[in-house]
């Protein structure tokens, strides 16, 4: 909902504020009902317009925990925020991601607006819950569960009246409110299209979350017109192995007239379709076909992914399991080979052991592509049809990772879900479990994991019967695990279990296929557009040290593509982020990939980048193309 439509002329708003300040009852109709409701809530929370906010601001470690808690959201939102920022750059505004409690997780903004914004604490770690800061787009969007714009004097607190803010909620495919996306700026920078832009961007994030969560399930793409499929307006619906709806996006809810309360129902309760029909669609995999909702509305549908499989066949089960054609086993791994001999050797060895129940340990610097590699091993193995489940052992505090990995019995701890949770190990049943940053696994959990690997069964936290598990294991680490074993920080017996075969991925600076890789990344970012690097930029790409490896290169190219003018297909210096272009052009010979002490180079670069970002670790990590965890770890030494 866009408040701007309902905003009365300035005089009415001034009159309303005068009433507010004198504590008088507001005459009805003076301001938009949504603002009126929010002002009442703000008063109810004990706030006064003239008083400055007394809001909590999380210290760095707690902020990190909050960011890790919503890691999925942050990861999916980041590229969309960059895109939004590129669209609004120079307009004196900032893009903000907050969690479902109104806590700011990440911000991206124009430097000239940032200092002003900092004065009212538009900073990661600050709470913009209505109870703390009164009416504001983030807090009010959360309170109303709707997209909201709050302009100038509609903000409850006087100190925020220089702002114009627009926020839209971000909802998970299972209906949980995850947070809000917001654009805030100086009230003079208000633009009529911002509301549409923010809502579309929130939908983009929701669709990315849907793909991430249901990427291996049967997915239905729906729209009233065939050409609408594949656009941001398409409805997405995921169906589990029993033929029940397990996830939807916002567009699907609107198209099918559903609410999240209908999750768990059988597909046939919503769409008139048959098992045979879905099977045919999956086999053809091509053009959308016409279907009807049970209410009789005509839609077009394209099916993707795996058909429902292990559903027990009971009377009334109309969906059958459908075998899918599998890509040839070598494909996913072969796609990673772009001519570097070290990489080709790693691929070749991985291919030989894929599917043979040999644990893989993938080593390599941060951003070198360990997770991408592990996924390709899974996709090239006989387990490809079952899930690939990734767990980052460094991202969660010990007690959470324990519950996350091993699952828990109902009521196992405060805050646990009533029905318990199966845990990531069981979710990987039949597929691959990928344990990233295994070197950071706390000692107590190392023992538990070892037991699972030995016994091939898992006992949920809080008790319960052991459950047999079957999965392929791939672990990854950026640190020499052998050394950690020698230092007594990592269990030797677990190390030997994990290390059926160790594969080391080369850092980008020592790969001979840097330019071929850049070409592939560009192809992936803008398929068929023929975008290439200009000669001087290509030469610089080849020379540069790439401390953030492939992740950094992918980020740099993503920005460059976004900065190209329509129809432009050449990337020049001015398309690169300033700091990277500066590093690349630096006469400093330590940027040569041949140079020895790249560890200290990275450290120096990291420190400089953190300073350039005013101490904002998230922004610095983003610029460097490394994860925030890695940045903290490297700086800690
Ligand atoms: N083969 C590839 N082709 C193109 N881009 C790649 C490739 N491998 C990795 N990337 C890019 O680099 C990013 C980081 O890759 P990945 O997460 O696999 O690295 P990592 O080594 O696991 O990093 P970390 O140790 O920080 O978790 C990917 O999101 C992708 O953008």
Break the chain into its structural domains and give their ranges. 60-209, 215-305, 332-504, 512-585, 598-636
Do the Cβ atoms of 85 and 159 come closer than 8 Å?
no
What whole-number distance in Å separates Cα of residue 167 and Cα of residue 155? 13
Do the Cβ atoms of 164 and 182 come closer than 8 Å?
no
Candidates 577, 580, 565; CA nearest to 531 is 565
551 lines ligand 1 (CB under 6 A): yes
Whole-angstrom distance between the N-terminal and C-terminal Cα of the chain?
Answer: 48
Helix (H) / strand (E) containing 478 = none
H runs (alpha helix) in 286-390: 331-334, 341-353, 370-379
Atom of ligand 1 nearest to the CA of 630: 26
Look at ligand 1, atom 29, and give the residue with the nearest C-alpha.
551
Q: 245 phi and psi, to 5 degrees?
A: -70, 125
Name the CATH topology of 332-504: Rossmann fold (3.40.50)
Regions of the chain short of the pLDDT cut 50: 1-8, 307-330, 589-601
Candidates 92, 75, 94, 74; CA nearest to 84 is 94
pLDDT for 619? 74
Query: Domain 512-585 is of which CATH architecture?
Result: Orthogonal Bundle (1.10)
β-sheet bridge partners, residue 186: 163
Strands 148-151 and 163-171: antiparallel
Domains 60-209 and 215-305 share a fold: yes
Q: 384 phi and psi, to 5 degrees?
A: -55, -30
Query: Domain 60-209 is of which CATH architecture?
Result: 2-Layer Sandwich (3.30)
Look at ligand 1, atom 12, and give the residue with the nearest C-alpha.
551
Look at ligand 1, atom 4, and give the residue with the nearest C-alpha.
521
Question: Token pair of 355, please?
Answer: 């599917």
Non-local CB neighbours of 352 within 8 Å, separated by 6+ positions: none
CA distances from 327 to 330, 332, 381 (A): 8, 9, 10
3-state secondary structure of 444: helix
pLDDT for 111? 72
What whole-number distance in Å separates Cα of residue 610 and Cα of residue 579? 12
Non-local CB neighbours of 589 within 8 Å, separated by 6+ positions: 595
Q: How many CB atoms lie within 10 A of CB 98?
A: 30
Atom of ligand 1 nearest to the CA of 478: 25
Non-local CB neighbours of 308 within 8 Å, separated by 6+ positions: 218, 239, 240, 241, 242, 243, 319, 320, 321
What whole-number distance in Å separates Cα of residue 113 and Cα of residue 164? 12
3-state secondary structure of 618: helix
What whole-number distance in Å separates Cα of residue 3 and Cα of residue 627? 37
Burial label, 504 (beta-carbon count in 10 A; 0-12, 13-18, 19+): middle
What whole-number distance in Å separates Cα of residue 125 and Cα of residue 60? 8
What whole-number distance in Å separates Cα of residue 20 and Cα of residue 32? 14
pLDDT for 153? 93
335 lines ligand 1 (CB under 6 A): no
371 lines ligand 1 (CB under 6 A): yes
β-sheet bridge partners, residue 570: 532
Look at ligand 1, atom 26, and give the residue with the nearest C-alpha.
366
What whole-number distance in Å separates Cα of residue 16 and Cα of residue 153? 10
pLDDT for 306? 58
What whole-number distance in Å separates Cα of residue 256 and Cα of residue 268? 12
3-state secondary structure of 298: strand
Angular region, 65: left φ>0, alpha ψ -120 to 50, beta rest = alpha
Look at ligand 1, atom 24, and give the residue with the nearest C-alpha.
366
516 lines ligand 1 (CB under 6 A): no
pLDDT for 277? 67
523 CA to middle of ligand 1, Å?
16
Angular region, 51: left φ>0, alpha ψ -120 to 50, beta rest = beta
pLDDT for 284? 63
Query: Domain 598-636 is of which CATH architecture?
Result: Orthogonal Bundle (1.10)
436 lines ligand 1 (CB under 6 A): yes
pLDDT for 532? 92
630 lines ligand 1 (CB under 6 A): yes
pLDDT for 636? 66
Non-local CB neighbours of 48 within 8 Å, separated by 6+ positions: none
Question: Token pair of 347, please?
Answer: 């691929």
555 CA to middle of ligand 1, Å?
10
**Sheet order of strands, 148-151 included:** 104-109, 93-99, 177-186, 163-171, 148-151
CATH 3.30.450 fits 215-305, yes or no: yes
What whole-number distance in Å separates Cα of residue 17 and Cα of residue 121? 23
């Amino acid at each position: 909902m866009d408040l701007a439509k309902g905003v009365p002329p300035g005089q009415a708003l001034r009159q309303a504020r005068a009433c507010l300040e004198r504590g008088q009852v507001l005459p009805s109709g003076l301001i938009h009902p949504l603002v009126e409701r929010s002002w009442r809530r703000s008063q109810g929370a004990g706030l006064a317009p003239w008083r400055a906010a007394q809001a909590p601001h999380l210290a760095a470690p707690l902020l990190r925990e909050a960011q890790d808690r919503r890691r999925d959201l942050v990861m999916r939102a980041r590229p969309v925020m960059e895109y939004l920022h590129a669209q609004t750059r120079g307009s004196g505004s900032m893009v903000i991601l907050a969690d479902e409690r109104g806590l700011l997780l990440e911000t991206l903004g124009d430097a000239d607006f940032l200092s002003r914004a900092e004065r009212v604490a538009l900073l990661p770690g600050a709470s913009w819950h209505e109870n703390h800061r009164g009416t504001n787009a983030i807090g009010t969007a959360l309170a109303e569960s709707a997209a909201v714009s709050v302009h100038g004097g509609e903000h409850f607190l006087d100190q925020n009246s220089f702002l114009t803010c627009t926020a839209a909620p971000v909802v998970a495919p299972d209906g949980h409110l995850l947070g809000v996306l917001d654009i805030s700026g100086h009230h003079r920078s208000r633009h009529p299209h911002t509301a549409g832009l923010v809502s579309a961007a929130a939908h983009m994030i929701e669709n990315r979350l849907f793909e991430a969560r249901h990427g291996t399930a049967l997915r239905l793409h729906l729209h009233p017109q065939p050409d609408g499929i594949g656009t941001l307006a398409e409805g997405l619906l995921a169906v589990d192995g029993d033929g029940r709806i397990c996830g939807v996006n916002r567009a699907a809810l609107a198209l099918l007239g559903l609410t999240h309360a209908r999750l768990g129902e059988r597909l046939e309760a919503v769409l008139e379709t048959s098992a045979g029909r879905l099977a045919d669609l999956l086999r053809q995999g091509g053009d959308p076909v016409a279907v009807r909702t049970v209410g009789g509305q005509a839609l077009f549908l394209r099916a993707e992914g795996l058909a429902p499989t292990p559903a027990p066949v009971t009377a009334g089960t109309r969906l059958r399991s459908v075998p899918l054609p599998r890509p040839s086993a070598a494909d996913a791994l072969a796609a990673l080979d772009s001519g570097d001999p070290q990489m080709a050797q790693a691929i070749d060895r991985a291919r030989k052991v894929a599917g043979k129940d040999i644990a893989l340990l993938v080593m390599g610097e941060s951003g070198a592509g360990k997770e991408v590699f592990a996924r390709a091993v899974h996709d090239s193995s006989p387990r490809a049809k079952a899930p690939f489940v990734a767990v980052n052992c460094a991202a969660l505090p010990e007690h959470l990772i324990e519950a996350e990995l091993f699952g828990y019995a109902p009521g196992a701890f405060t805050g646990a879900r009533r029905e318990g949770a199966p845990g990531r190990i069981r979710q990987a049943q039949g597929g691959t479990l990928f344990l990233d940053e295994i070197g950071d696994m706390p000692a107590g959990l190392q023992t538990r994991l070892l037991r699972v690997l030995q016994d091939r069964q898992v006992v949920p936290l809080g008790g319960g019967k052991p459950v047999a598990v079957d999965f392929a294991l791939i672990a990854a680490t950026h640190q020499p695990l052998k050394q950690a074993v020698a230092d007594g920080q990592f269990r030797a017996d677990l190390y030997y279990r994990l290390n059926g075969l160790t594969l080391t991925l080369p850092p980008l600076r020592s790969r001979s296929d840097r330019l071929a890789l850049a070409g592939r990344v560009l192809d992936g970012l803008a398929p068929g557009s023929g975008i290439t690097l200009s000669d001087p930029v290509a030469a610089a790409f080849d020379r540069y040290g790439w401390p953030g490896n492939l992740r950094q290169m992918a980020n740099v190219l993503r920005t460059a593509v976004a900065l190209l003018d329509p129809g432009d297909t050449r990337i020049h210096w001015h398309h690169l982020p300033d700091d990277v272009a500066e590093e690349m052009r630096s006469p400093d010979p330590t940027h040569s990939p041949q140079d020895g002490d790249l560890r200290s180079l990275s450290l120096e670069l990291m420190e400089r980048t953190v300073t350039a970002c005013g101490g904002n670790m998230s922004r610095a990590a983003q610029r460097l193309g490394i994860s925030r965890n890695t940045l903290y770890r490297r700086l800690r030494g």
